[in-house]
């Protein structure tokens, strides 16, 4: 049985980390799978990992201190700033030393990197005979410096996996211009499960799931829901997640006197999120950027129509206007409210869009995604 090693920064909460756990679970019956995690952020991984998968942590005592460093800068605390800066440099040095050493010593047949920086190290220090694969989860957002970094990191890789077809085509063209041999492959993120029973779309509930950070646009969502609430006061919004903007979001909810109409659930386990999805009638995404949007596919699996701004690039590959949801251009709040009202007042439309959404979600089943990964892993350059 051939061996696969996946190099991950950590196994805490996050979209990439969830994908790492899913991929390891997906492949562990056909391959000997190991996850090498640079940092150990908690006693156990945030997402369930099959017992057949070996998990190795490189740094257990120290953790990234970006947030502590930012606080020291913001509050103008010179001594704290110096301490956190020194710690940050030490941690980064240790990260490179430990990760490079692990890559040099790894005897796996297939090596998978999950970060641009790891791509570069893998190409430089990974075993020459190994099949080296980069896995790019982020959208470039027209940041050409970031694009250059991705391309440069693939100099010595055999393949680069992209999570959308538009990204695959974009990087394939760039690779060709640079005359790189690295193949660009589109393999979407997968649904962990497809529910047997979809939502009935009868309850007056809207849902949004994600990290409470600025790029996810949740403060904007509160503004939008305030306008929607004035038209449809009997609808309820469920927010699921946690993050640095949580207090700001809650403050806005209190300011607009929407505490009876918006519930901030915090972080929930998958089973609890599924219960909310099964009672929801449409999903709304207000992200400024989004690479793929697996939460949209998960909502669609429940037969739930989805709305998103086009600024969430990944949503543009998933939502088809008036087929399985709506895409709103130019972050137009009023246009979003109009489509929300449209769905709230027309159950037949919700059912039609929801049926199409569920059918579309089947393209992301674990069986289909697993087949694509297995085909890639058997095609050594």
Grade residue 57 by pLDDT with cuts at 50, 70 and 90. Answer: very high
pLDDT at 73: 65
pLDDT at 75: 67
What are 301-326's pLDDT values in tens digits? 999 999 999 999 889 989 999 999 99
Q: Residue 290 corresponds to which tokens in the numbers above?
A: 């989004």
Q: Which residues pair with 112 in a beta bridge?
A: 6, 133
Q: Residue 107 corresponds to which tokens in the numbers above?
A: 């005897």
pLDDT at 161: 97
CA dihedral 147, 152, 157, 160 (to 10 degrees): 0
pLDDT at 14: 79
Domains 3-190+366-377 and 205-364 share a fold: yes
Q: Residue 22 corresponds to which tokens in the numbers above?
A: 């899913």
28-32, 69-73, 86-90, 179-183: which has the minimum mean pLDDT?
69-73
What are 172-227's pLDDT values in tens digits? 999 999 999 999 999 999 998 899 999 999 999 999 999 899 999 999 999 999 99
Collapse the DSSP code of 289 into the 3-class scheme (helix H, G, I; strand E, B; otherwise coil) and give the result.
coil
Question: Which DSSP state fits 305?
Answer: -
At residue 74, does pLDDT exceed 80? no
Grade residue 271 by pLDDT with cuts at 50, 70 and 90. Answer: very high
What are 333-352's pLDDT values in tens digits? 999 999 999 999 999 999 99
Q: Which residues, other chains included, contact 42 with Cβ-Cβ below 8 Å and sequence gap of 6+?
A: 11, 12
Average pLDDT value for the chain: 93
Residue % of the chain over a pLDDT of 70: 97
Grade residue 67 by pLDDT with cuts at 50, 70 and 90. Answer: low
pLDDT at 379: 78
| Domain locations along the chain | 3-190+366-377, 205-364
Domain 205-364 has CATH 3.40.50.2000: yes
Long-range contacts of 124-130 (CB under 8 A, 24+ apart): 124/156, 125/100, 130/106
User: Are 4 and 78 in contact, with CB atoms under 8 Å apart?
Assistant: no
User: For residues 63 and 131, which has the higher predicted lDDT (pLDDT)?
Assistant: 131
Q: Which CATH class is domain 3-190+366-377?
A: alpha beta
pLDDT at 19: 92
Per-residue pLDDT, averaged over 239-246, amounts to: 92
Question: Which DSSP state fits 321?
Answer: B
User: For residues 338 and 270, which has the higher predicted lDDT (pLDDT)?
Assistant: 338
Q: Residue 13 corresponds to which tokens in the numbers above?
A: 């909460």
At residue 381, does pLDDT exceed 60? no
What are 243-260's pLDDT values in tens digits? 889 999 999 999 999 999
Question: Which DSSP state fits 274?
Answer: H
Collapse the DSSP code of 299 into the 3-class scheme (helix H, G, I; strand E, B; otherwise coil) and give the result.
helix
* Total-model pTM: 0.84
What are 107-147's pLDDT values in tens digits? 999 999 999 999 999 999 999 999 999 999 988 888 899 99
What are 36-56's pLDDT values in tens digits? 999 999 899 988 999 999 999
CA dihedral 7, 11, 17, 20 (to 10 degrees): 50
User: Are 52 and 27 in contact, with CB atoms under 8 Å apart?
Assistant: no
Collapse the DSSP code of 277 into the 3-class scheme (helix H, G, I; strand E, B; otherwise coil) and give the result.
helix
């Amino acid at each position: 049985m051939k061996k696969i090693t996946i190099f991950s920064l950590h196994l805490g909460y996050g979209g990439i980390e969830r994908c790492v756990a899913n991929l390891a679970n997906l492949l562990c019956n056909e391959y000997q799978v190991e996850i090498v995690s640079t940092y150990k952020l908690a006693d156990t991984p945030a997402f369930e990992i099959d017992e057949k998968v070996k998990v190795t942590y490189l740094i257990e005592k120290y953790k990234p201190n970006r947030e502590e460093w930012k606080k020291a800068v913001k509050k103008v605390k010179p001594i704290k700033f110096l301490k956190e800066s020194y710690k940050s440099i030490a941690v980064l040095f240790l990260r490179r030393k430990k990760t490079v050493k692990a890559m040099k010593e790894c005897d796996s047949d297939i090596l998978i990197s999950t970060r641009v920086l790891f791509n570069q190290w893998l190409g430089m220090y990974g075993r020459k005979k190994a099949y080296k694969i980069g896995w790019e989860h982020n959208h470039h957002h027209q940041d050409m410096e970031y694009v250059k970094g991705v391309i440069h990191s693939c100099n010595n890789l055999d393949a680069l996996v992209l999570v959308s077809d538009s990204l695959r085509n974009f990087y394939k063209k760039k690779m060709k211009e640079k005359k790189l041999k690295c193949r660009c492959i589109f393999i979407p993120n997968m649904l962990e499960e497809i529910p047997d029973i979809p939502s009935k779309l009868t309850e007056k509930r809207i849902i949004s799931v994600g990290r409470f950070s600025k790029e996810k646009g949740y403060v904007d969502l509160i503004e939008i829901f305030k306008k929607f609430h004035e038209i449809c006061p009997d609808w309820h919004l469920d927010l699921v997640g946690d993050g640095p903007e949580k207090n700001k979001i809650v403050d806005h909810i209190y300011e607009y006197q929407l505490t009876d109409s918006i519930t901030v659930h915090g972080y929930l386990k998958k089973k609890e999120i599924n219960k909310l999805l099964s009672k929801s009638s449409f999903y709304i995404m207000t992200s400024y950027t989004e690479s793929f949007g697996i939460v949209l596919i998960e909502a669609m699996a429940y037969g739930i129509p989805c709305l998103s701004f086009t600024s969430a690039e990944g949503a543009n590959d998933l939502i088809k206007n008036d087929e399985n949801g709506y895409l709103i251009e130019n972050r137009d709040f009023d246009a979003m409210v109009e489509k929300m009202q449209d769905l709230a007042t027309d159950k037949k439309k919700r059912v039609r869009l929801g049926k199409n959404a569920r059918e579309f979600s089947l393209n992301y089943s674990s069986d289909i995604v697993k087949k694509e990964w297995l085909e890639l892993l058997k095609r050594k350059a």
